[in-house]
Amino acid sequence: METNSNSHSRRHFIKNVAALGAGVVATSANQAVAAPANILSEDRKGVLVDTTVCIGCRNCEWACKKSHDKESGNIEEYSDRSVFKQFRRPSAATYTVVNEFSNPKNPALPINVKVQCMHCDRPACVSACIVGALSKYEDGSTIWDPVKCIGCRYCMVACSFQIPTFDYNKAIEPNINKCDFCNERRKAGKLPACVDICPVEALVFGTRSEIIKIAREKIQRNPERYINHIYGENEVSGTSWVYLAGRNFYELGFPKLGFKHAPGVSEAIQHGIFAYFVPPVMFYSLLGTMMWIYKRREEFNKEAELAEELELQSEPESEVEEL
């Protein structure tokens, strides 16, 4: 779990970057911006999440962690429903979480909603990243590249779904965390780990066109069960992960977003930076300096913690000497 100082540090950093971005956007308000070319394949993949089927077992959380070499513990621990007392977001420790909401139609059966990267068709994170560390692929996935990332966390500010998170425990290398659509597993011909483990088929993997068709059919066949809205079909110009629900999505933690893709906003920031006489090298230097200061502070904190630990370890000896 994130410490208070970490979350404060993140808020502070986001505030600074947002302020920087907002200033630049303000200067470029009248500038027309171009959307990135749509490189997506007609057969691109997606997942349909049916929240009316999900039982909140959180096996998907466990499988996701396990398949990404994260501390996962025993699967039995995930039947603990006390976690639902708090609304949770994906974090450096887990790329996906399940939350619980009340069900006005049937209070005995709460609504569970799995959250992860939506793999937007036109991702704001990709558009915002100035070094190309996030890329959109033809198959629908949006993937982060650790080699290119400079840790500026611009993607965190840009994402409408608040998905990318920063690993504050890794002082040496910047580490942005988010669902990678199980890229490696899929390359090996396997299903995403969360889809594979789901015991009730609340998650359906397929081409995006197939899952949209399935979602439409489900709504048509059972209009009492579902509201007539496939979340992600059109939001921010479409996402690879789409959802069905029996209750208004905005009451289930989903952001109310328009159908226009978000990158226009983040591109406006980037274009503004480059068009309004801030030479790219200056901007890179600024980000580099911010990163250096951040890392130095982390190193300093770690050194201070280590010194404190060594001091504590040596205390009993000095007591013996005094006796």
Residues of this chain that interact with ligand SF4 (CB under 6 A) are 54-60, 63-64, 67, 95-96, 98, 112, 114, 116-120, 123-125, 142, 159, 161, 163-164, 178-182, 192-194, 197-198, 200, 202-203
Residue 79 or residue 169: which is nearer to ligand SF4 going by CB? 79
Instruction: Give the span between the Cα atoms of 136 and 276, in whole angstroms.
Output: 27
Residue 69 or residue 321: which is nearer to ligand SF4 going by CB? 69
In the complex, minimum distance from the CB of residue 11 to ligand SF4, in angstroms, rounded to a whole number: 19
In the complex, minimum distance from the CB of residue 182 to ligand SF4, in angstroms, rounded to a whole number: 3
Residue 64 or residue 273: which is nearer to ligand SF4 going by CB? 64
Residue 24 or residue 120: which is nearer to ligand SF4 going by CB? 120
For residue 81, what are the CA distances in angstroms to 43, 55, 78, 86, 100?
37, 11, 8, 10, 9
Is 248 strand, coil or helix? coil
For residue 183, what are the CA distances in angstroms to 148, 226, 252?
18, 31, 28
In the complex, minimum distance from the CB of residue 262 to ligand SF4, in angstroms, rounded to a whole number: 7
Residue 196 or residue 298: which is nearer to ligand SF4 going by CB? 196
Nearest to 39 by CA among 137, 123, 118: 137
Say if residues 116 and 163 touch (Cβ distance below 8 Å).
Answer: yes
For the sheet containing 203-207, what is the strand order? 203-207, 45-50, 241-244
Residue 178 or residue 271: which is nearer to ligand SF4 going by CB? 178
Instruction: Give the span between the Cα atoms of 297 and 5, in whole angstroms.
Output: 12
In the complex, minimum distance from the CB of residue 323 to ligand SF4, in angstroms, rounded to a whole number: 56
Query: Position of tokens 């000896």?
Result: 317
Neighbours of 61 (CB within 10 A): 24
Instruction: Give the span between the Cα atoms of 130 and 282, in whole angstroms.
Output: 13
Is 128 strand, coil or helix? helix
DSSP state of 105: T
Is 99 strand, coil or helix? strand
Q: Are strands 241-244 and 134-136 parallel, antiparallel or unpaired?
A: unpaired
In the complex, minimum distance from the CB of residue 72 to ligand SF4, in angstroms, rounded to a whole number: 11
Residue 189 or residue 288: which is nearer to ligand SF4 going by CB? 189
In the complex, minimum distance from the CB of residue 198 to ligand SF4, in angstroms, rounded to a whole number: 3
Is 47 strand, coil or helix? strand
In the complex, minimum distance from the CB of residue 126 to ligand SF4, in angstroms, rounded to a whole number: 6
Residue 20 or residue 203: which is nearer to ligand SF4 going by CB? 203
- Residue 309 one-letter amino acid: E
In the complex, minimum distance from the CB of residue 59 to ligand SF4, in angstroms, rounded to a whole number: 4
Say if residues 125 and 141 touch (Cβ distance below 8 Å).
Answer: no
